[in-house]
Amino acid sequence: GAFFSTADLDVHPPGSFSTALAAPEEEVLEVDHWLAVGFCFVGSCFLVFLFFFMQYMIYVIIFCFCLGGASCIAQFGAICLNHLFPALRNKSINCPVVGPLLHAEVLAGIPAAILVTSWVILRNTPHGWPFQDIIGAGFLCWLQRTLRLPNIKIATLLLSAMFFFDIFWVFISPLFFHESVMVRVATGGGTGESVPMLLRIPAFGDPFGNDRLLGFGDIALPGLLVSYLRRHDLLSRRSLKAGYFAPALVGYFFGLCATIAALCIMKMGQPALLYLVPGTLGTTMVIATCRKEVHLLWEGTPAKDEGSDAEDSDDMLSEEGRGNGGI
């Protein structure tokens, strides 16, 4: 996701595959404080609605998942084909509802349709999880490509709100609804279907035979922070070792391990953001505090290392020397 999020930066050479993946400026949505708070509020309302009406909404959700997944995968495929084979950018057909389609879009739509159809057929079997995860990965990459955090201030607001959101709807909601709202919705609410907006990983060797489930929000929300940190590192001209991107990835990994450990110990659904937010945002803030760069991340200002400052000074001196030599 961070690769797609930073594809528009000038650090990539013109005409490269990275620049081909960059989203047009009009498609990019920058998260502000209203969107961060609204996401939590709307998400809560939608969860309660699904809790009571899942038997009517489950197939609407499946249809939207199939349509959106096929669209994301087809568009990524078309971008790749257009970059590798420029001749496929020619118009192919004019679809009445969609509009004009390029040769690349038609070709990319074929494997996307096959992938989605395979998931629909196999979704309730032990063989459906790879197709669901591939479609989900397409969704998540497209989200990282078009949705961005401007600074750590907004990231802190968003992740803190969703941190308590996850805890409430998993652990505290049974006090009001007699069962966990999040767990019931994620498992399909007794409809015999599972909500597809999550990644499924089979628990190989698990005597209980239960899949490990990770919701899209548990990936996308920390992923927005990780993508922002990657942009900040690139704009600051920092390596992986000197930046914030790699520590946040490590923090996410340990947070995910803590989630799985808690799941195995408690034998009940876990609010993954309870572990992932401290692992990513907490790690970032600790490192920034040690480097005395919290204000830079808080306002979204690229850092200037001594090495880059020295390099800029050398460039200025060399330019002045060439100017004096020409007088």
Please state, as a whole number, how many other Cβ atoms lie within 10 Å of the Cβ of residue 175. 8
Q: How far is CA 209 from CA 89, 95, 183, 203, in A?
A: 47, 45, 17, 6
Do residues 88 and 103 make contact, with C-beta atoms less than 8 angstroms apart? yes
- Pairing status of strand 212-215 against strand 198-201: antiparallel
Do residues 131 and 118 make contact, with C-beta atoms less than 8 angstroms apart? yes
Whole-angstrom distance, CA of residue 273 vs CA of residue 252: 10
Among candidate residues 8, 32, 133, 166, the one labeled active-site is: 166
Please state, as a whole number, how many other Cβ atoms lie within 10 Å of the Cβ of residue 189. 21
166 is catalytic: yes
Per DSSP, 172 falls in state I
Task: Copy the structure tokens of residue 292.
Answer: 């005395």
Among candidate residues 10, 133, 211, 218, the one labeled active-site is: 218
Max CA distance (Å), the chain: 85
309 is catalytic: no
Phi, psi of 93 (to 5 degrees): -135, 165
Q: Which residues are catalytic?
A: 166, 218
